[in-house]
Structure 1
Amino acid sequence: MKVALGQFAVQPDWHENLDICFDLIKRAAGKEADLLVLPEGILAQDMADPDLIPKTAQPLDGAFITRLAAETLKYPTLTIAGCLPIPDGKDRFYNTLLVIKNGQIIAQYRKLHLYDAFSHQESRSITAGDSLPPLVEIAGFKVGLMICYDLRFPELARRLVLEGADALILPAAWVKGSGKEAHWDILVKARALENTCYMIAVGECGQRNIGNSMVVDPLGVAIARAGEEPALIMAELFHKRIAHARDILPVLHNRRFLPPKFI
């Protein structure tokens, strides 16, 4: 499977972000990608306006998602994934990861773990999801869905891999701070290595967030990586690499604990 990671700095105006997404879709399709992963919060971001989410959030049939989905009809072999706030019907919002192909939303996941840490409080406007993310079949790979802060909870990644995930995708807006770049690097690699699966982690860049999108293989090797600037990077995933990793490092077979029960 060929994957493209579209790293960019999300703007306050959703029209600008839609144009950026269109460009990344076109470029990823031109490189024959099967999957394009976009960052977290692709609708709108503004460091100076903490209330931007309630001002800009759109429903699934809103203009942003409708036009984004329509754009995928031009590139029938490409699947795209990115997340944005969706109204929950109670004056709050779900941080929702959407997977879109051929003009249709084929999967969605509402973020389970809200970023109430490091002086941030995502729960101020976001409602936590209450369902485990699905697996999505893309180009012969089973892909599990995660969002940003989920990365710090290894039981979610392990659960998805035990259900059959070959790769995990993680759109993120990883906030800059003391040691935060190291946290990102360690955790993305750890989730891949401890589960002998691929990690496809895409971060927003810009003033607030670190970027540093990367693809890590099942033995913890970063096979593609971006810096702090906007970028489109590519990587190719192989079933034989997963099989090799699980043959020489059979941690999934050797484990002694059952997966935790989801409450």
Structure 2
Amino acid sequence: MRITLAQIDSGTDVDRNLDLIADYCARAAREGSDLIVFPEYSSYEKSRVDQSFVDMAEPLDGPVAAKLQATAARYGIAVVAGLLEASRERDGSGERDRAFNTLLAIGPDGSRLAGYRKIHLFDCQGFRESDYIKAAPEPVPVTFSCGGMTFGLMTCYDLRFPELARILADAGAEVLLVCSSWVPGTAKTEQWATLAKARAIENGVYVAAVSQTPPVSIGYSMLIDPLGTVLHGLGTEPATATLDISPDAVQAAREQFPTWRHHRIH
């Protein structure tokens, strides 16, 4: 099958972001892509997570999701993109709103294939994502099928938790989609690449790591094969990369290094 990595520069203008996603989908469809993958916070993004992320959140049957589904159907391409999903909860001081950081997977007919709420929230480097974002109540793996392959969903900071990647691989994932807005910082670009390669090698899977561009994030989206080779890497500007992937490459890597059969610690 053919996959497109869409490295974009989302901002606070939701309509502009959705139009940008549609433009990239049209481009990928012309290239014969079966699936296009966008970063987390594709529909709304800024340098710090704040109350505006909660204010912009919608249910998964809201206008943002509906437009993404219509775009997928219009161009006949499966889409994975990050959006803000509304969530209302009650704590000890009364009612308090937070949003889910959600990845929505949409089929080429516009149907909803899967939804993944981010499990691990980025409370690091002076950030407090959890002040405004609610972690998935049930930390379960989410996979979906497209083009004859199985995909596992991960969001940004999830990449630092190898157990999630292993659980997804055990659940049948042949490709890990790591949709991110990787916060810049000392050695962060090197960590991004190293962790993505490690998740591929450990599990014998492709890793499609897609990030927002600077200044909010680092860019450097990449597709890594099941042996850890970077098949294509992007720089820091908005861009796409369209490549073919195959379950045969996954099978060959797992036959060469059958770690899934050898590992003894569960």
Q: Pick the TM interval, shorter chain.
A: over 0.9
Shift of 1:69: 0.8
**Alignment partners' CA distance in 2, 1:163 and 1:51:** 35
Are 1:44 and 1:52, in contact at CA under 8 Å, matched by a contact in 2?
A: no
Partner of 1:56: 56
Shift of 1:66: 1.1
Task: Find 1:116's aligned residue among 104, 120, 123.
Answer: 123
**Alignment partners' CA distance in 2, 1:243 and 1:103:** 30
Partner of 2:37: 37
Given the alignment of the two structures, is residue 94 of structure 1 paired with residue 100 of structure 2, yes or no?
yes
User: What SS does the aligned partner of 2:116 have?
Assistant: strand
Shift of 1:81: 0.3
Partner of 1:240: 248
**Alignment partners' CA distance in 2, 1:238 and 1:85:** 32
Contiguous gaps of at least 5 residues in structure 1: 259-263
Identity %: 37
Given the alignment of the two structures, is residue 137 of structure 1 paired with residue 138 of structure 2, yes or no?
no
The code of the aligned residue for 1:58 comes to E
Aligned length: 257
Are 2:156 and 2:181, in contact at CA under 8 Å, matched by a contact in 1?
A: yes
Task: Find 1:125's aligned residue among 132, 137, 153.
Answer: 132
Partner of 2:23: 23
Shift of 1:50: 3.1
Are 2:54 and 2:133, in contact at CA under 8 Å, matched by a contact in 1?
A: no
Are 1:169 and 1:199, in contact at CA under 8 Å, matched by a contact in 2?
A: yes
Given the alignment of the two structures, is residue 75 of structure 1 paired with residue 75 of structure 2, yes or no?
yes
Shift of 1:35: 0.8
Partner of 2:7: 7
**Alignment partners' CA distance in 1, 2:174 and 2:119:** 21
Shift of 1:236: 1.2
The code of the aligned residue for 1:113 comes to H
Partner of 1:46: 46
User: What SS does the aligned partner of 1:73 have?
Assistant: helix
The code of the aligned residue for 1:151 comes to L
Partner of 2:110: 103
Shift of 1:214: 0.6
Normalised by the length of structure 2, the TM-score is 0.93
* Poorly superposed stretches of 4+, deviation over 4 Å: none
RMSD: 1.3
Are 1:158 and 1:195, in contact at CA under 8 Å, matched by a contact in 2?
A: yes
Are 1:6 and 1:37, in contact at CA under 8 Å, matched by a contact in 2?
A: yes
Given the alignment of the two structures, is residue 162 of structure 1 paired with residue 170 of structure 2, yes or no?
yes
Shift of 1:207: 1.0
**Alignment partners' CA distance in 1, 2:232 and 2:49:** 33
Are 1:201 and 1:213, in contact at CA under 8 Å, matched by a contact in 2?
A: yes
Contiguous gaps of at least 5 residues in structure 2: 90-96
Normalised by the length of structure 1, the TM-score is 0.94
The code of the aligned residue for 2:39 comes to P
Relative to 1, partners in 2 of residues 1:48 and 1:223: Cα closer, same or farther, differing over 3 Å?
A: closer
